[in-house]
Structures are given as structure tokens and as C-alpha cells.
Amino acid sequence: MPIDFAAKKALFHLPEGVVYLDGNSLGPMVKAAPARVDHAVQAEWGEMLIRGWNKAGWMAQPAALGNRVGKLIGAAPGTVVLGDTLSIKVYQALASALEMNPKRRVILSDTGNFPSDLYMAEGLCRTLGGQYRLKTVAPEEAMAAIDDTVAVVMLTEVDYRTGRRHDMREITRRSHEMGAITVWDLAHSAGALPVDLAGAGADFAVGCTYKYLNSGPGGPAFIYVAPRHAEVARPALSGWLGHEAPFAFDLSYRPGQGIERMRVGTPPVLQMAALEAAMDVWDGVDLAEVHAQSLRLQDQFIKGVESRAPMLQLATPRSHLMRGSQVSFRHPEGYAIMQALIHEGVIGDFRAPDILRFGFTPLYIDEDDVARAVSVLARIMDYGTWDKPEFKARAAVT
């Protein structure tokens, strides 16, 4: 059955008068979240206290939610687990992948990758005594740079700045052909477009749930390990909840079964409650249909902006095959323009040095929202209302 987008939209809380084009950064709240979190606080934490770990199933949540997220990214049951933040999961996946390819010393990534991924790789290289090297190339050159020196290809499928999408299937195929292991960051993919980790033969994948999957600020990250590696991958962050028998309190570490070993410490139970509420909205949603609708909205936006605000320069590829669910435009005064837009109730965000980012999330954004965003942006550009000191003062979070 086709998705009833209007019915889905009614399940989200969107503040009055706001067009929210920033679900690629922080997804809005589903209406059911406050009651679910309140239940977790009052009835579970409040009444059950420590008994909640067993009685309310808190300990099983990371794997149970992993299976629900897994369905959206082409991962078989038992191959995804939730917890920690995405930066931590990047580190975990990369450390395991490097260890599985011991003769090689190069981590290949691209200059469009999210800085935290690159910083984590740099930090890991230093910890490993400087024998490893992080090599970054332009996104367009990533495929050609995969050679037989590369241990791990670590890429974010959809570029957080430009929205440019890598070809996961082809890059994974080429990596394997050259003897490299892949770590895919799905921060801008999970809930945005169809991902087929199993079909692509991906080795490791990581991602967050607070963007397209609406778990709220600080929501847990996820990690995927291909079943063929699950019993081989050694967790570098060998915390007690990844131990084979956490409550045996052994003095030395034995990795847990399969994906369970990628857990580290106590899971964020209250955040997981918010994610559970969001997953009730996401369960069964066909990502191919979501992405197709997102592309229609993106095209409407691009066409409108290019005709009514031609001083903005499109930074996102025109090809549908190379797009995620965001559209970016460049302008030297991008920060001030975005602040003026937000002031008028159209919320996107800004990424240095000059990118205005807009996320198109069809579960709660429709054609009328896009039309309004285009009109407001055109007006701001026509009248130069962005050119005010208050729009130029940079806040800590952009």
C-alpha cells in the first residue's frame, strides 16, 4: 500500500508556523514520544527502579531496536545494535576493520566526510603507534583511490555538506576486489533513502538515530557488522556489556555472541524509549517510496530557488542517483541568509564556509511547505533582509 504521507505528517509534532527543513540534522519529535518517555520515567524508572532492567526489558532494548532499525537499512535480524554516539561507533567499526586486515596500513576516506569520522581515524592511528595513515581524497576520486595498500575504506554514504551520494554497492565491490574492508557511515542515509547493506555486501556500517529517525537530541547510534564477520570482529572498546557473560563479572574479557559484542556500557534507556515511539511511525515504511517523494520535493525546491533566487548556487548533484535527502546551496553570506530564514520560520542550517542545507523528509514535509520555503527565501534575497548585524552574529551551533 502506498504511504499516506498526510497521515504520517499528523503523527509528528511540528511547532506552529514552522517549515522544518532540518530533519537531516535533528529530526522532529513524534507526538507519541512524550507519553512513551513519560511512561519510561514514571512507570518504569519511578516504580520498577532497578527491576526495570529485567521487568521493562531495558537490557534487551539495544538489540530489539537494532532489529527495527536494521529493517530500514537492509540488515538481517541480529546484525545491528544500538548504543553510544556515532563517533564512538565509528571508532569501534574502524578499529575492528583494521585488525581484520593486518598487513595493510592505510585508511582511505574523503574530504567530504564528517570531521568527527576523520578525527576518530586520526586518533586511532596515533593510538596504534603511528604505523597507520589516514588518506583523504576528493569524494569524486574515492573509487579510483582504492588500491592494494588500503586496509579500510571509510566513507559517509551521503555527504553532510553537499548531499552528494556515493555508490555504496560499487565502492564496496571495488574495495573487496582490492582486498579492503568497508566502513559505511549512514548518518545521512538511515531513514532517508533505501539502503541495502546485505545486498551491497557491506562489512561494517554505523549511523545515528537523531536525524532522519527522530530519536531526539543525543539519541543512540547504531552499528552493523556483516554476519560473516560477527564472530571474528574484535571490539577495541571491550566494555562489560559486550562481554559474553556480563553478569559473571569475570576478570578478563571474552567477546559476546555476534553483534552483542559491539555493545560497550549501560544503554541510554530514556533515549531508547523516545526512539521506540519514533520506530512505531517508521516500522513498515518503504524507503524507496520515501526517497522518491523526497526527490520530488527536492526538485520542486531546486527549481523554485533557481528561478526566484538565482544568486544562490546549487551545491548538490543534479542527478537523482547521486542524491540523498538534502539540498544545499552556496552563498558567501549563507550564515546570515539562514538566520534570516529561521527568523521567518523556515528552518534549515548552515555549514561552513558557505553552505545552506535543507532536508526533505516526506513523512512530515509536503509541497505546500516547500512552496512556502521558496517564497520566504526569494523575499529575503529580493529585499536583502538578511543583511542585518543580528543575523551575522555567529551562535555556538550553526
Ligand X SMILES: Cc1ncc(COP(=O)(O)O)c(C=O)c1O
Q: Which residues carry out catalysis?
A: 114, 185, 210-211, 357
- The distance of closest approach from Cβ of residue 87 to ligand X in the complex, given in angstroms and rounded to an integer, is 3
Please identify which residue in 208, 274, 279, 312 interacts with ligand X, judged by CB under 6 A.
Answer: 208
Residue with smaller CB distance to ligand X, 86 or 297: 86
- The residues that bridge with 137 in the sheet, in sequence order, are 110
Q: Which long-range contacts (CB under 8 A, 24 or more apart) does 167-171 make?
A: 167/143, 167/321, 168/195, 168/200, 168/202, 169/196, 169/199, 169/200, 169/201, 170/143, 171/142, 171/143, 171/146
What span, in angstroms and rounded, lies between the C-alpha atoms of 381 and 189?
A: 31
Measured on CA atoms in the order 254, 236, 187, 189, is the torsion positive or negative? negative
Closest distance of CB 209 from ligand X, Å: 9
Closest of 168, 102, 104, 136 to residue 322, by C-alpha: 168
Round to whole Å and give the CA distance between 377 and 393: 20
Please, what is the minimum distance in Å from the beta carbon of residue 388 to ligand X? 29
Among positions 65-94, residues that touch ligand X (CB under 6 A) are: 85-87
Nearer to ligand X, 186 or 312 (CB): 186
How many chain residues are in contact with ligand X, going by CB under 6 A? 12
Shortest distance, position 207 Cβ to ligand X, whole Å: 8
Which x/- pattern, by CB under 6 A, does the window 103-142 give for ligand X?
-----------x-xx-------------------------
CB 202 within 8 A of CB 226: yes
Give yes or no for a contact between 83 and 268, defined as CB atoms under 8 angstroms apart: yes
The CA angle 219-360-16, to the nearest 5 degrees, is 75
Strand-pairing partners, residue 357, are 328, 349
Per-residue mark of binding to ligand X, 254-273 (x: CB under 6 A): --------------------
Contact 73, 189 (CB under 8 A): yes
| Three-state DSSP state, 170 | helix
> CB neighbours of 310 closer than 8 A, spacing ≥ 6?
none
For position 222 contacting ligand X by CB under 6 A, the verdict is: no
Asked whether the beta carbons of 165 and 321 are under 8 A apart, the reply is yes
* DSSP bridge pairs for 152: 107, 181
Which residue has 535480524 as its cell numbers? 77
Select from 20, 160, 212, 386 the one that contacts ligand X (CB under 6 A).
160
> Which residues are 108's β-sheet partners?
135, 153
Using the minimum distance from each CB to ligand X, give the nearer residue, 180 or 221: 221
Nearer to ligand X, 190 or 273 (CB): 190
DSSP letter string, 126-163 = HHTTT--EEEEE-GGGTGGG--TTEEEEEEESB-TTT-
**Residue 185 sits in the site that holds ligand X (CB under 6 A):** yes
Least spacing, CB of residue 21 vs ligand X, in Å: 16
Rank residues 185 and 354 by Cβ distance to ligand X and give the closer one.
185
Choose which of 30, 124, 153, 187 interacts with ligand X (CB under 6 A).
187
Q: How far is the CB of 114 from ligand X (least distance, A)?
A: 3
Which CB atom, from 22 or from 185, has the smaller least distance to ligand X?
185
Shortest distance, position 222 Cβ to ligand X, whole Å: 11
159: contact with ligand X by CB under 6 A: no
Binding pattern to ligand X, positions 236-255, x when CB under 6 A?
--------------------
Q: What is the Cα gyration radius of the chain?
A: 21
Nearer to ligand X by C-beta: 21 or 340?
21
Q: Which of 136, 156, 162, 182 binds ligand X (CB under 6 A)?
A: 156
- Do 20 and 365 meet the contact criterion of CB atoms below 8 Å apart? yes
Which residues make up the interface to ligand X (CB under 6 A)? 85-87, 114, 116-117, 156, 160, 185, 187, 208, 221
